[in-house]
Amino acid sequence: MAEAYIVEAVRTAGGRRNGKLAGWHPADMAAETLNALVDRSGIDPVSIDDVILGCVTQAGEQAFAFGRNAVLASKLPDSVPAVTIDRQCGSSQQAVQFAAQAVMSGTQDIVIAAGAESMTRAPMFSNIALHQKAGIGVGPISDRIKRRYGVESFSQFEGAEMMAKKYGFDRETLDRFALESHRRAAAATKSGAFADEIVPLAVEGGAHTTDEGIRYDASLESIAAVKLLREGGVISAANASQICDGASAALVVSEKALKEHKLKPIARIVEFAVTAGDPVIMLEEPINATRRALAKAGMSIDKIDLYEVNEAFAPVPLAWLQAIGADPAKLNVNGGAIALGHPLGASGAKLMATLIHALKARGKRYGLQTMCEGGGVANVAIVEAL
């Protein structure tokens, strides 16, 4: 089978809601990551076959052919097409997978996989709320779906509580995990571990190059003091991912393109998988997807050097570690979404950038990335750093 390679993978530093990136139109923010791929790789932008951009809340400034608008806001010529996709939190990880499939099929040679989400300017659920306020329709979950699953709605928050109960995690365990996320992210930032993957964005006072959500002074006491999302539960805003503005992108190419354009790859796509399961507990599916991807690759988890498991809620990576029998020391070594933020549609390619650069910095070979996604879906990708 033909191979797919990643030549560059970049991301913006995360911005808190109404924070440093609040003044950036999301199309312009995405455009900066596309520009960075061109600048860093030296690729002739005319040769780019397609741009696949993930975005979850396709409303307002993120509506109306958002991926195409990102191209039009960039230095790419208007001959480069684009498409916007939604696989919820895994949207830009799916973009990487679609790009790799296009390259491996031989139908395209140079594809950008990207993602962008301004959770400040296109708030989560605003694509639903405006219809609800106008009295249009009954929402995305039809009565037929409700009857099938015996619920009135699907809730990621309820799913997180269900996972914590199923795997036996109390609040202190979740809060300790959250604290470690902040500590790792702070250490990575101070050491310059993110420098090579971050695309600077101009903001008031200079360039935005540091993830805004990291709590350098976090303590178990301060995390435990945050109010629970429901009485008697274990999930709080402090042990869940942060609302975040950001963008990310990866340049995925064929072996033919490497030779013709004299490109140097930083990673190879080894294997990928997407699976789906129970939409009620919803967030557990990365476990099944990981098992499938490892089986397809003929690998065991001990052969993987680093893992990025999205910290949508603390029970997700903790349950994944427990079920897979993985090494906690290899998990989210530079912190995760609890500290760094989760810019929804941008998170997949964001984690890919972080994973590849972390592997290279440590002289390691194989990395695995997985995302829980709305509706009980999950993506997994295994990459080899080159």
Residues with a catalytic annotation lie at 89, 342, 372
User: How far, rounded to the nearest angstrom, does the alpha carbon of residue 233 sit from its chain's CA centroid?
Assistant: 26
How crowded is the C-beta side of 386, counted as CA atoms within 13 Å? 14
**174: which residues sit within 8 A by CB, 6+ positions away?**
164, 234, 235, 239, 314, 315, 318
Distance between CA atoms of residues 69 and 266, nearest Å: 28
Contact 151, 291 (CB under 8 A): no
DSSP 169-238: --HHHHHHHHHHHHHHHHHHHHHTTTTTTEEPEEETTEEE-S-TT--TT--HHHHHTSPBSSTT---BGG
- Exposed/middle/buried for 191, CB within 10 Å: 0-12, 13-18, 19+? exposed
3-state secondary structure 228-241: ECCCCCCCEHHHEC
